[in-house]
Structure 1
Amino acid sequence: MIEAIQRVYDAVLTFFQGIWDWITTGIYDFGVWAFAKLVEYLVWKSLEFKLWALDFGWDAAKVMLADLDFANRMQSAFDLLPASSVAILNALGVPQCITLVVTAALTRFLLRFIPGAT
């Protein structure tokens, strides 16, 4: 009978000792873990937002270039040059480079209007 009471007493003592250990040390470890998970989640969502904003800016820049009729304006400017110069510029890929730089500049310009995107 005494042994049964001793085992119950040990079980209750072990239970409350486990709770006390969790309150004194385990809650700190839990807090550190929870804060790390929160920071990880926020960083991940921040990166997702920046990727979305970049995609949005790129799409908006392409629409702006289409609305400005940039390709036709650039083609008409190249038509004013001699044929040999146009051939050299096309061989070097200058028209594609100009389009890429202008699109990047427009994307950067548009991203300034989205808070947290840059």
Structure 2
Amino acid sequence: ANAIGDFFSDIWSFLDDDVPNFFERMLAYVVEKITLMKIAAQLEALKLAWSVAKTIMENFQLASKVLSAANGLPQDVKAALVDMRFFDGFNIIIQALLARYVMRFI
């Protein structure tokens, strides 16, 4: 009689503890994998957007247009802006804006 009671309490323990614990672990695993896949997809989309933005910048020759506009400035102003790395910063800002623009399409 004691063995039968242990049998039923083991079955009850399995149904009451182990089955919900299994579904909880399975759901956590699925959510973790979906999150990792979403992050990986976002990284790949960012790489794609950067390559597209880089191609657009090369086609429009933005860096050369900025340099040609800088050549029109007086020499002392140009030297001050080069020392402050203004043109490098301007290039980075233009690249970021262009990459953000491309990311809207992806």
Q: TM-score range by the shorter chain?
A: 0.7 to 0.9
In structure 2, the partner of 1:113 is 105
> Within 2, Cα distance between the matches of 1:107 and 1:13?
68
Shift of 1:46: 1.0
- TM-score by length of structure 1 reads 0.79
65-74 or 13-22: which moved more? Answer: 13-22
What CA distance in whole angstroms lies between the structure 2 residues aligned with 1:41 and 1:15?
Answer: 37
RMSD of equivalent CA atoms: 1.9
Distance 2:45 2:7 in 1: 52
Equivalent residue, structure 1, for 2:28: 36
TM-score (norm 2): 0.87
Query: How far has the Cα of 1:90 moved from its partner?
Result: 0.6
1:83 aligns with 2:62: no
Q: Could you tell me which runs of 5 or more consecutive residues in structure 1 were left unpaired when the two chains were aligned.
A: 1-5
1:26-105, aligned counterparts within 5 Å? 26-105=18-97
Flag structure 2 segments of 5+ consecutive residues without an equivalent. none
**Displacement after TM superposition at 1:91 (Å):** 0.6
Q: For 2:58 and 2:47, how far apart are their aligned partners in 1?
A: 17
Distance 2:6 2:60 in 1: 76
Larger Rg: 1
Shift of 1:75: 1.0
Task: Tell me by how many angstroms 1:105 deviates.
Answer: 0.5
- State which drifts further: 65-74 or 21-30: 21-30
Q: Secondary structure at the match of 2:49?
A: helix
Percent identical pairs in the alignment equals 25
